[in-house]
Amino acid sequence: MNPRYPGAAIACLAVILSGCYMSKESKLIPRQVIFGNPVRAQPSLSPDGKKLAYLAPVDNVLNIWVKTLGADDDRPVTRDKDRGIQQYFWAQDSSRIFYLQDTAGNENWRLYTVQLSSLKVETLTPFDGVQVNVIEYNRYHPEELLLVMNKEDQKFHDVYHLDMKTGRMELIAKNPGDFMSWVPDHDLQVRGALRARPDGGTDLLIRDAATQQWRSLISWDLEDEGESGPVTFDKGGTALYLTDSRGTDTSCLLKMDIRTQLARSVAQDPSYDIGGILVNPATYEPEAVAFSRTRQEWVVLDAGLRDDFTRIRGISDGDFFIQSRDNADTRWIVAFNLDKGPGAFYLYDRRTKKAEFLFYTMPQLKRYTLAAMEPVSFLSRDGLMLHGYLTYPAAKQKKLLPLVVNVHGGPWVRDTWGYNPRCQWLANRGYACLQVNYRGSSGYGKKFLNAGNKEWGGKMHDDLIDAVNWAIRQGIADPKRVAIFGASYGGYAALAGATFTPDVFACAISAVGPSNLITFIKTIPPYWTSYLQTIHKRIGDPDTEAEFLRSRSPLFKVDNIKIPVFIAQGANDPRVKKEESEQIVEAMKRKGLYYEYLLFPDEGHGFVKPANRLKFYAAAERFLAKYLGGRFEE
């Protein structure tokens, strides 16, 4: 205490008496810092290399900002006042920016453009109830782009060509009803497509020109298709790069000659699937491949990039990826992801081999001590090796801690190393945060992925319980203070924890989680229809396996609940309808069971608006503090 500043001394004494001594190690990180809007995010270079765009708040709503490199002339070029902008990209002439936006989380994206000179915004797809996505836009056709829309039929996405000079939009590829996705070449010709098969597999179709008939190039069974798929045509359009796991456990990057169907291997790891591919936007050649092992590791394919990657690795201890590059390919924006710090972006000059720091996403985090994310692994009860991460409270011993099992969504994705706001929040509040890449998670080969087929609430859930038991045996977790927390599939897992294994957990938090697998599958978005057979194979078929799905649905096990349950839902969620939350809430209400429920009328599958996100985490924080005994920010 400094006697020259008695006010500061009184404030410090008040903090000590409150039990939250403000040492650097134990200082509470405000929820606003962790879950509020980033100060700046998602930077992108203009194609001419002269300007930088990024997302930043205007009146607490994310908008697009633009500045001239080397100048302090930052200005917002959009003025959204509601949900904020999350996806955008530059026009090739660097004079305007395109962005996608939905309404209240309904995922019916519209495409907009804003002129930088006049700030005039134009709606390019002014259609109600239609989902739009851009699938090809490149330097070779600067005034044209290809997009997909379910305009003709909500169940299927067709391909449209948009001439931006005239505004003319033309349907150029009609979905016959079973096409899952499209693969255009660099000349904006739709030359490839993925077709869903009745058995849950997929066929990769190809044609030599847009006027010719489709023919089958590759057929993947369900066991192979999860880690396989097209990447890009080469520039000449005679070969296709694709990932393929036929005849092997992990996916391999191949280059296949379309005419002869001869293929050569470009990159593969014996234990991990391909986790990312850097494709040159001018040559359409893969330049580097990432494998998400314990951490992300790059394998450089193009010798001309080896020196750049070596120098970039020396900039930061974090895992990196190339966020953006100009058309001359002399300037790159490099993004770094660290476990104990905010995301950082650098402007890297390939000519001088020097990097200039641009910004942190959340610079306020630099004032606080964050916790390390440590890799862990252990065997499941049936001998499957499971991998995950543990984030411990920074200033506490790693023994007998309250534990939160933080379950990832998907479920066919995986947790990776790096900054995770929920993990840091939990650790800062005094909890050990355990993330588990349970069977069915991607990245560890097709055997591991397919081990999750029809195991929702079965062996996938057993893996989470095995993780808890492992943490207890290691002396890390206090067995009486364990919670389960997740969103989407993770929300389902939290409800399964409360109903299938109520003796394991002290409480559960579920966000946008299915409670009844029958109604969940029967109410999927119309545009998921082509994926329905895959869903049936991986989860179950409500028409032929209703009793099985009932047995794996938390809604029908409500009588088993012994613990408090907190549920949150977006009213406009197109993937997990609000009825999934409300029907289990109503069942708990009828049984007189304790629950808390938050419904956000202006959200979808996740909570995008900062006010809603902060409200959810404030309620979750109080809930966890009440039942696990952690800290809480008033």
Question: For 323-344, how does the pLDDT look when each residue is reduced to its tens digit (9 = 90+)?
Answer: 999 999 999 999 999 999 999 9
- Asked if pLDDT for residue 3 goes beyond 90, the answer is no
Q: What percent of the chain has pLDDT over 90?
A: 94
Q: What is the pLDDT of residue 22?
A: 35
What is the distance between the alpha carbons of residues 558 and 552, in angstroms, rounded to a whole number? 12
Kindly state the average pLDDT of the residues 501-506. 97
Kindly state the average pLDDT of the residues 235-244. 97
Kindly state the average pLDDT of the residues 433-451. 98
Q: What is the pLDDT of residue 508?
A: 98
The pairs formed by 29-33 with CB atoms below 8 angstroms and a separation of 24 or more are: 29/365, 29/368, 29/424, 29/425, 29/428, 30/633, 31/425, 31/614, 31/617, 31/618, 31/621, 31/633, 32/614, 33/362, 33/364, 33/365, 33/368
The residues, ordered by sequence, that sit 6+ positions from 269 with a Cβ below 8 Å of its Cβ are 250, 291, 293
pLDDT tier at 23 (50, 70, 90 boundaries)?
Answer: very low
The residues, ordered by sequence, that sit 6+ positions from 262 with a Cβ below 8 Å of its Cβ are 256
Kindly state the average pLDDT of the residues 470-495. 98
Angle, CA of 445, 447 and 452, to the nearest 5°? 110
Kindly state the average pLDDT of the residues 1-25. 31
Q: What is the pLDDT of residue 12?
A: 31
Q: What is the dihedral of CA 403, 583, 610, 608, to 10 degrees?
A: 100
Give just the sign of the alpha carbon dihedral 266, 272, 275, 278: negative
Kindly state the average pLDDT of the residues 605-628. 98
Kindly report, residue by residue over 383-400, the tens digit of the pLDDT: 999 999 999 998 778 999
Query: Would you call 605 a catalytic residue per the annotation?
Result: yes
What is the distance between the alpha carbons of residues 123 and 100, in angstroms, rounded to a whole number? 10
Query: Would you call 203 a catalytic residue per the annotation?
Result: no
Kindly state the average pLDDT of the residues 556-572. 98
Report whether the peptide linkage leading into residue 411 is cis, meaning its omega lies within 30 degrees of zero.
yes
Residue whose entry in the numeric block shows the structure tokens 């026009």 = 91
Domains 45-277+318-324 and 369-628 share a fold: no
Q: Which of 488, 510, 530, 553 is catalytic?
A: 488
Please check whether the domain covering 369-628 is classified as CATH 3.30.56.10: no
Q: For residue 371, which phi and psi values (nearest 5 degrees)?
A: -100, 150
What is the distance between the alpha carbons of residues 16 and 23, in angstroms, rounded to a whole number? 10
E strands in 225-343:
229-233, 239-244, 252-257, 263-268, 274-279, 286-292, 296-300, 319-325, 331-337
pLDDT tier at 18 (50, 70, 90 boundaries)?
Answer: very low
Give just the sign of the alpha carbon dihedral 24, 27, 30, 36: positive
Q: What is the pLDDT of residue 26?
A: 62
What are the extents of the domains in the chain? 1-34, 45-277+318-324, 369-628
Q: Using a cut of 0.75, tell me whether the model's pTM lies above it.
A: yes
Kindly state the average pLDDT of the residues 37-65. 98
What is the distance between the alpha carbons of residues 576 and 523, in angstroms, rounded to a whole number? 8
Query: Domain 45-277+318-324 - what CATH class?
Result: mainly beta
SS3 sequence of 5-49: CHHHHHHHHHHHHCCCCCCCCCCCCCHHHHHCCCCCEEEEECCCC
Q: What is the pLDDT of residue 395?
A: 76
Kindly report, residue by residue over 368-380, the tens digit of the pLDDT: 999 999 999 999 9
The residues, ordered by sequence, that sit 6+ positions from 85 with a Cβ below 8 Å of its Cβ are 55, 62, 63, 64, 78, 99, 101
Q: Which of 185, 269, 462, 573 is catalytic?
A: 573
Q: What is the pLDDT of residue 394?
A: 87
Q: Which of 157, 161, 408, 605 is catalytic?
A: 605
The two beta strands, 61-68 and 75-76, are antiparallel
Query: Would you call 573 a catalytic residue per the annotation?
Result: yes
Average pLDDT, rounded, for the chain: 94
Q: What is the pLDDT of residue 68?
A: 98
- Asked if pLDDT for residue 227 goes beyond 50, the answer is yes
